[in-house]
C-alpha cells in the first residue's frame, strides 16, 4: 500500500459511503511508548488502549520528530483498527496510527480537541 505524505497530492478517486464505513477508525489513549531502534525509519512502538471492545493494540509510528516518548503517554490518537497486522522488524503492528504531514512532511498526530471515550468510532 503506497501512501503519499505530500500536501500537493491529488484527491483520491471517488468512493462510495460503504467503502468509507469499511475503514474502522477508532480513538484510543496511548498507555505505553517505547523506542523502536530496529525500525528502518525512526519510529516509536506504542501500546494504545481502545476500550473494552477493541482492547489494547500495538502500533509502530514514525512520529519521532514532533513527539518525545514521555509526552505521548496519556495522549489520545486515532487509528485504523481493522487492517491485517503487519510485521515491522520484531514488532507486530496491529493498528495504523493516523497523522498528517507538516510543511516538511513530518507526521503530526490526529487527535480530538477534547477528551472522548476510548473506542469511539470516527463517523
Distance CA 5, CA 19 (A): 22
Alpha helices (H) in 41-95, listed in sequence order: 51-54, 69-72
CATH number of 25-109: 2.40.50.140
**pLDDT of 58:** 97
pTM given for the model: 0.89
pLDDT tens profile 43-57: 999 999 999 999 999
pLDDT at site 1: 43
Domain ranges of the chain: 25-109
Low pLDDT (below 50) residues in the chain: 1-2
Give the Cβ contact number of residue 84 at 10 Å.
Answer: 5
* Residue 75, all three cell numbers: 495522549
Please tell me the predicted confidence (pLDDT) of residue 21. Answer: 87
pLDDT at 5: 60
pLDDT for the residue numbered 59: 97
> What is the predicted pLDDT for the residue at 3?
52
pLDDT of residue 40: 87
Amino acid at each position: 500500500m503506497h501512501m503519499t505524505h505530500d500536501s500537493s497530492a491529488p484527491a483520491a478517486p471517488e468512493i462510495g459511503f460503504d467503502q468509507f464505513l469499511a475503514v474502522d477508525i477508532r480513538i484510543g489513549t496511548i498507555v505505553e511508548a517505547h523506542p523502536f531502534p530496529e525500525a528502518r525509519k525512526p519510529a516509536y512502538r506504542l501500546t494504545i488502549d481502545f476500550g473494552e471492545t477493541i482492547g489494547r493494540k500495538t502500533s509502530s509510528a514514525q512520529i519521532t520528530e514532533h513527539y518525545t516518548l514521555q509526552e505521548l503517554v496519556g495522549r489520545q490518537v486515532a487509528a485504523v483498527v481493522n487492517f491485517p497486522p503487519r510485521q515491522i522488524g520484531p514488532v507486530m503492528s496491529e493498528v495504523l496510527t493516523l497523522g498528517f504531514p507538516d510543511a516538511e512532511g513530518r507526521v503530526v498526530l490526529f487527535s480530538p480537541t477534547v477528551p472522548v471515550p476510548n473506542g469511539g468510532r470516527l463517523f
